[in-house]
Each structure stands twice: as C-alpha cells, then as structure tokens.
C-alpha cells in the first residue's frame, strides 16, 4: 500500500507540534527560513531523504521509528 503524501506531511507537522516548536523555531534549528518548513508541511515542496533526516534530528525524533510508524 502506498504511503500518502498527506499522511506524511501530517505526521511531520504532528511531531513538530508534539515537540512544542513553531515553524519559526524549527527553521531556526535547521538554519533555514520559516518558509522551508511551511512549504514541506503544506506540500509545496518535498523533502529528500537527507533533509528528512535533518528535520527529524532537529526534532529529536528517531528516524527509524518515524518511518516504521509511517508505514505500519
């Protein structure tokens, strides 16, 4: 079964909110503009795997756990 782009984006947004970070705060951790976070959360851009790892590390989320939860 394919992974929904919407489900992926919602999960990324949920883990950010669980970490109690705004888009601005996460962007600051990443050294990126707030629009970077906004665009991937809204589906205007996709994250490559290296960017995903960077985002999850900034959120202190285990990459393997995140992916497992997403696909199961």
- Structure-model confidence comparison of residues 7 and 1, the more confident one: 7
13 has a pLDDT exceeding 90: yes
Tell me the domain boundaries of the chain.
5-71
Which residue in this structure is represented by tokens 């990126």? 32
Q: What is the DSSP secondary structure assignment for residue 32, as one 8-state letter?
A: S
CATH, domain range 5-71: 1.10.260.40
Q: What is the DSSP secondary structure assignment for residue 27, as one 8-state letter?
A: H
64 has a pLDDT exceeding 80: yes
Closest CA to 52 of 38, 72, 66: 66
Give the tens place of pLDDT for each residue, 24-57: 999 999 999 999 999 999 999 999 999 999 999 9
1 has a pLDDT exceeding 80: no
pTM over 0.85: yes
Q: How many residues does the chain have?
A: 72
Both structure tokens of 14: 């949920």
Q: How far apart are the first and last CA of the chain?
A: 10
Both structure tokens of 3: 């992974």
């Amino acid at each position: 079964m394919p992974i929904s782009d919407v489900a992926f984006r919602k999960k990324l947004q949920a883990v950010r909110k669980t970490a109690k970070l705004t888009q601005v705060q996460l962007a600051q951790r990443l050294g990126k503009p707030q629009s970077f976070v906004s665009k991937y959360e809204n589906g205007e851009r996709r994250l490559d795997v290296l960017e995903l790892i960077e985002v999850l590390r900034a959120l202190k989320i285990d990459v393997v756990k995140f992916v497992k939860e997403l696909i199961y």
